[in-house]
Amino acid sequence: MQVSIVRPALVEGPEQERMSIEVDRQRNRLLTAQAIVEAGSLADTGDIARAQFVLKAAKTALQNSAAAQV
């Protein structure tokens, strides 16, 4: 079985921006999930300060992302 994805050779203009924002939103979801898992693990070992740092760093990254600016 072979799977293929058909994509345009080049996307320009508003469509490019929309597609980039969608990619950024997905990246943000992944970043959030990873931060929650990492912070949870740290909190489970008693390292609350580092867990808070991980969450705050993720929050800052999300606030500065392209998707947050729209």
pLDDT digits 0-9 by tens, 23-45: 999 999 999 999 999 999 999 99
In a domain? residue 62: yes
- For residue 42, the enclosing domain spans 15-69
Across the range 46-51, mean pLDDT stands at 98
In a domain? residue 33: yes
DSSP character at residue 65: S
In a domain? residue 7: no
Using CA atoms, how far apart are residues 33 and 27, in angstroms rounded to an integer? Answer: 10
In a domain? residue 43: yes
Give the number of domains in the chain: 1
**pLDDT confidence of 14, banded at 50, 70, 90?**
low
In a domain? residue 5: no
In a domain? residue 22: yes
Degrees to nearest 5, angle at CA 13 with 66 and 25? 25
